[in-house]
Amino acid sequence: MGLPGGFELVIIFLVILLVFGAKRIPEIARGVGKGIREFKDATSEIKREIDVEDRRESIRPPKQGQPTPREEPRQERQSDPEASSDTAEPRQG
């Protein structure tokens, strides 16, 4: 079942013209146009609300409280040769 062709559209238009009359068709078209516009406005408002919610979740305020100190890069320090067993020479005595 596909879209109606040209001949079917003409028949549908003639039936609508006979049922509603020539005076009422512009009023119906205006009402349909307003309905479509309201639907588009509602969907765009919902999309905006969803975008705002996503932004609120992604941008969070920093935690309040004590600041944490930065860690300095670890460097190998020369330790006391007596304390380290890897580099210490055997003690004599």
pLDDT digit string (tens) for the chain, length 93 residues: 677 788 998 999 899 889 888 888 889 889 999 999 999 999 999 999 988 888 877 766 666 777 667 777 666 655 555 555 555 555 565
Q: What is the pTM of this model?
A: 0.45
CA distance 93 to 87: 18
**Using CA atoms, how far apart are residues 51 and 71, in angstroms rounded to an integer?**
37
**Three-class DSSP category at 79:** coil
